[in-house]
Amino acid sequence: MHIDPHELIVEGPGDDGEDERLGSSREPPVFAPKRGLKERHIGVMAISGMLGTGIFLASGRALADAGPAGALLGYVVMGLVTIAVALTAAEMSALCPATGGFIAHAQKFVDPALGAAIGWNFAYALAIVQAVEITAASLLGRSLVAGLACIILF
């Protein structure tokens, strides 16, 4: 079934009850996002955001250096630190919700210059992470299939 977007009938703000075509509306219609995420969706997104290629690449080195008990202890300690940071950020967001997250909180509670520095540092980190993730995916692919690393990079 083909739907022509120009044939959609919408009611925009300020309409007098008459239907208008999408292209002839004076004001654009307001589309609100549907809030349909359930707890399991949020949980899976959180887990997938935490698990990266590092758990597959670095866990072997941690096991070789510290052994199974030392690696488990290291993961538990760093997990507790990560949970403490996440809960602190969640508490700050609940206390003072702001667009911009931790950057806005640093600007408001410490200094605007610190917020700007954190924002630029975060942008730089995101740019670097992309290159690191591509390299890690190449290394992981090379260990799974011979010759795959060249295909991923080029």
Residues in the chain: 154
Q: What is the pLDDT of residues 13-52, one digit of tens each?
A: 555 545 445 555 566 666 666 778 888 988 888 887 777 7
Residues 6+ apart with CB under 8 A from 7: 21
Q: What is the pLDDT of residues 108-135, one digit of tens each?
A: 999 999 999 999 999 999 999 888 888 8
| Chain centre to alpha carbon of residue 99 | 15
Give the per-residue pLDDT at 118: 96
Q: Looking at the predicted structure, is the pLDDT value of residue 145 above 90?
A: no
Instruction: Tell me which DSSP letter residue 28 carries.
Output: P
Tell me the HSE value of 126 on the side-chain side, using a 13 A CA sphere. Answer: 6
**What ranges in the chain are assigned the alpha helix state H?**
39-50, 54-95, 101-109, 112-144, 148-153
